[in-house]
Structure 1
Amino acid sequence: MATFAVRAARMFDGTRLYGPSTVTVEDGRIARVDTTGAPPAQGVPVIDVGEDAFLLPGLIDAHVHLAFDASADPVAALVAADDAELLAKMRTAARRAVRVGITTVRDLGDRNYLSLALRTELADHPENGPDVLAAGPPITTPGGHCHFLGGQTESTTAALLAAVRERHERGCAVVKIMASGGNMTAGSAPPYDPQFSLAELRLVVDEAHRLGLPVAAHAHATSVIRDALDAGVDTIEHMSFMTEDGVDADPALLARIVASDTFVSPTVGYFDTGRPVAHPPAIASRLAGIEAAGRRLFELGAKVVPSTDAGIGTFKPHDVLPLAVAQLVAKGVPMLDVLAAVTSVAARACHVADHKGRISVGADADLLVTGDLLDDIGRISDVRAVIHAGVQVPTN
C-alpha cells in the first residue's frame, strides 16, 4: 500500500480538537500524527484537501441494515429478492455509505448471513464499502419482529443457546436479539411489548459473553430497557422508552443507564425527501418524548452512540449518518460530544476501539476530511477526502 499524508487546518482525533495537523498513512495504518504544524517527512506525498480542511476519524454507524434498500417498502423489496439480488443491493448500500466517510458499520440484521459474504468481499476492496460488523439474522420469536430475516427461535434453553452458538461459529461480530416488538412486521408484537423474558435475555447474554461476543438488544419498551440492563446486554438499540400510552423515560431508569456499563444507541437522522417523514404511527405519536429522552441521556453523560437504522425507509438512506450528526448539533448537543459519539465512543460500543474510531499511531487509517466544522457543522457533508484502510475512496 502507498505511503502518503493528509494535512488539515483542524483535527478531531476522536476525543480532542487540535489545530493544524498532519497524519501520515503507511500500509493501511496510521504511522505518524503531528499536531505541531510540521510538514510530513521529505518525499511523502500530501493529499490536497484545502486550507480550511477538518480531519476526523472515519464515522461509525452502529446500527444499519444493508439488506434494506431505503425504499418505500424495504420489507417487500427484501422478500422479493433472491440472495444474489439482495447481495447486489447490499454492495450498493455499502458503497453509498463509505463515500460520505462512514468507514465502519454494524449490520444488525440481514438474511442468510449475507453481510458476512459482503464483509469478505470488502476486505479486499476497502474503497467499495466500510468494514462490516455483522450480526446475521437477528434472534426473534416465531412470527416475531423481522422474522422474515430468518432468525425465528423458540423460547427454549436449547434453541436460544443453539442460536447464539450458530452466530459464533459463522463468525458474527455481535449477537442481535429482538427483545421487544417492533414497527416493520405485520402481526408481530407492538414495540411497547416484550418478546423475550428477562431469564431468556440473560441466557442469551451469558452464552454470547462466554463465547466472546457482545449482545445488541432491540428495545423500544421501557420495561424491556429495564430487562436489557438487568440481563447485561452491551448495547440497547432505539431506546424509545415506549409504554402502551406514550413515553416513560423514568429519571431513576436514566440514572441506572448512566451508571451502567451498557451503551445506548438511540435512532437518529433523516434525509429530507421534501415530504413529511413517514414515521410509523407508534413512533410519530411519541417522537417528541423519544427525542427529549435521547438528549437527556447525552446531558447526563450516558455512553450514547447515535445510529441511524439505515435502510428502513426513503428517509433513511445508507449515507444518512453525517446528516444525523448535523441534526443533533442543531438540536443543542455539543458538536464535540456528537463527533466523539460516532467515532471513539461507537468504536468502544462495537468492541473495535483497539483499532477504530481514533486518529493515533497504529490505528486503522480510516479518515474523513471535510470543510471546517467549527465554521458550520453542515460542512460535514462537504467531503474533501475519505480514506478507508489506507485506500483513498472515490467520493463522486
Structure 2
Amino acid sequence: MLTIRARRLFDGRDMHQDRVVIVEDGRITAVTGDTPVTASAGAAVDGGRPGTVDFGGGPGGPSETVDLGDATLLPGLIDCHVHLAFDAGPDVVAGLEAPGLIDRMRDAARRQLAAGVTTVRDLGDRDFMSLRLRLGVAGPEILASGPPITTTKGHCWFLGGEADGEAAVREAVRERARRGAHVVKMMVTGGEMTPGTRSHRRQYGAAELKAAADEAHAHGLPITGHSHCAEGTAYALEAGFDSVEHCSFFTEDFVEVDYGLLARLAASRLVVSITAGLAPVSAPLPPRMALLMPALRESLRAMSAARVSFVIGTDAGIGPVKPHGVLPYGAQMLVEHDFEPLDVLRSITSGAARHCRVADRKGRIAPGFDADLVAVDGDPLADITALQHPLAVFRQGHRVSA
C-alpha cells in the first residue's frame, strides 16, 4: 500500500487541500479529506517536509508513505497529439529511416513520462509501431491511430496511410480497427512538413470524409481530422468527425480566423485539439511558422473567447521546438492567451481522458482510477508554469521519477 500526501491536490476537476491518496495494486483506493479550494487557488496550509517513510509489513504487506510537502498532486497529464516516431530533430522524415526506430520511440515515450505525461495519443506513426510498444510502468500508456489516412503523396504519405476514394478510405478505417487502433486519424488538409501539399487546401471531399467518419463510428472508434484551414474544419464538422487537430485557419499567405465557424464549433459536440507548446530551446522556428506565429497566437485568443470545447495536443516530435514532454509549455501558452487556468488543467486531465475515451480510469484522482499521478512544485492554478517542475511521477502506483 502507498500513501501520498501533498499540500494541494487537483483531482481533475477542482483543487483541494489536506488530501491523502491511498494506492493499492496500481489503483487509487481512497482519497481522504474534502476541502475544495478552487476559488482561492493560492491558499496554503501547514504541512510536513517532503520525505518518504517505510513502515513494516502488516496484513496487507509493506506500506510506504510519501510526503511531498508544499506541492500539488495532479492526475497524470494527457497529451492528445504526439508522434513518438518523430525524433524532434531538424529533419524528422529522414530520421524515420535510421536504424533503431522502435528504440527511439521507446526513449521518446520515456521523456514524456519524465515530464509528467502518463498517457499519450499517438496520431501518426509508421507501420503501426506505436501499437506494438510495450512499456508498462516504464512509459506512458499509448493510445494510437497508426499511420494517418492521407491521399496519394498527401500530407505524411511517407508513413504509409495513402487511400483515395470512398471505398479505399473505408477499407483503411477497417484495417485500423482490425489492428486495434484507438482512434482514426485523417489528413483533411495538407501540411507544412510535406512538400507538394498545402495547409490551406483540402485533400478530401465531403463524401470521402463522411465515409471515413461513418466507418469509424460503425467500428466504435472516434475519428479526428488534421485541418489547417477553415474549409477543412467545416467539412470535418459536417462529416461528423469527433475532433479536429490544429484548427489553425491558414490561408495561402496568412492566418484569418473564421469567427462564424468558431461559433459553430462552440455550439457543436466537436472537440478542438489545440496545438500549443513551444519548448525554450535555441533552435528557431521554421521561417514560415515564425512569420505566422503572431497571428496564430491571436487565433488562440479567439478560441478562448468563443468557448470552444478543447484539449491540448502538442504535436510533440515534429521539430526541435516540439520535444517529447512539451505539454506543460502548451498549458502555459494557453493561459498566456486568455484561457482560464482551471479550464486548462481540466483539459490535460479529466477533459483529455473523456476525449480519449479512457475517462473511466484516467484523468481523475478518485477511488477506482489508475494511480497515474504527477506532483509539481507550487500551485499551477496560481502559476501554470509549476507544471514544468515535476517533483515526482507515479505510473500505476510506481514512482518512476524524482
TM-score by length of 2: 0.90
Q: Which amino acid aligns with 2:152?
A: P
Are 1:46 and 2:60 an aligned pair? no
**Residue 51 of structure 2 corresponds to which residue in structure 1?**
none
3-state SS of the aligned residue for 1:206? helix
Give deviations 1:14-33, integer Å, cap 9, x for gaps. 11111121111111111101
Q: Deviations over 1:66-112 (max 9, x none)?
A: 0000001111111x224xx1101000000000011100000000000
* Matched residue SS, 2:12: coil
Query: Which residues of 2 match residues 1-396 of structure 1 at below 5 A?
Result: 3-36=1-34, 44-49=63-68, 51-78=69-96, 80-82=97-99, 85-118=100-133, 121-122=134-135, 125-126=136-137, 128-155=138-165, 157-187=166-196, 189-275=197-283, 277-279=284-286, 281=288, 283-373=289-379, 374=381, 376-395=383-402
Separation in 2 of the partners of 1:10 and 1:162?
49
Report the AA paired with residue 57 of structure 1.
P
Do 2:16 and 2:34's aligned partners in 1 also have CA atoms closer than 8 Å? no
Amino acid at match of 1:47: V
Q: What is the CA distance between 1:44 and its match in structure 2?
A: 4.3
Structure 2: how far apart are the matches of 1:340 and 1:251?
Answer: 25
Deviation at 1:378, TM superposition (A): 2.1
User: 1:301 Cα deviation (Å)?
Assistant: 2.2
**Whole-angstrom distance in 2 between the partners of 1:348 and 1:392:** 25
Task: State TM-score, norm by structure 1.
Answer: 0.92
3-state SS in 1 of match to 2:21: strand
Instruction: Provide the C-alpha distance between the structure 1 equivalents of 2:320 and 2:363, rounded to a whole number of angstroms.
Output: 28
The answer to whether the 8 A contact 2:297-2:337 is kept is no
| Distance change >3 Å, CA 375–CA 223, structure 1 → 2 | closer
User: For 1:81, what is the secondary structure of its paired residue?
Assistant: coil
> What amino acid maps onto 2:186 in structure 1?
I
SS in 2 for 1:46: strand
Report the CA distance between 1:318 and its aligned residue.
0.4
Q: Which moved more, 1:202-211 or 1:322-331?
A: 322-331
Residues 12 and 346 of structure 2 are in contact (CA less than 8 Å); yes or no, is this contact kept in structure 1?
A: yes
Segment drifting more, 67-76 vs 296-305: 296-305
Cα shift at 1:361:
1.1
**Structure 1, residues 344-395: CA drift from partner, whole Å, max 9, x if none?**
1111111111111111111111111011124533222221111112221134
Query: Which whole-Å deviations, capped at 9, do the CAs of 1:141-184 have from their partners, x for residues lacking one?
Result: 000100000001122x2211110000000000000000000011
Are the structure 2 counterparts of residues 332 and 9 from structure 1 closer, same or farther at C-alpha, using a change threshold of 3 Å?
same
SS at match of 1:61: strand
Task: Render the CA deviation track for 1:33-89: whole Å, top value 9, x for unaligned.
Answer: 1234899x998421132x2110111000000000000001111111x224xx11010
Aligned residue number for residue 38 of structure 2: none
Cα distance in 2 for partners of 1:72, 1:176 equals 24
Q: Is the 8 A contact 2:300 2:334 kept in 1?
A: no
Structure 1 unmatched ranges of 5 or more? none
> Separation in 1 of the partners of 2:94 and 2:195?
12
CA distance in 2, matches of 1:145, 1:167: 18
1:280 positional shift: 5.4
Q: What is the CA–CA distance in structure 2 between the aligned matches of 1:383 and 1:154, rounded to whole Å?
A: 45
What is the deviation of 1:259? 0.9
User: Unaligned stretches of 5+ in structure 2?
Assistant: 36-46, 49-54
How far off its partner does 1:333 sit? 2.3
Q: Equivalents in 1 of 2:274, 2:333: separation in Å?
A: 14
SS of the aligned residue for 2:30 comes to strand
Q: Which amino acid aligns with 1:393?
A: V
What secondary structure is seen at the aligned counterpart in 2 of 1:269? coil
Q: Is the 8 A contact 1:298 1:304 kept in 2?
A: no
Identity %: 47
The CA RMSD over aligned residues, in Å, is 2.0
Q: Deviations over 1:315-352 (max 9, x none)?
A: 11101111222233234322111111111111111111
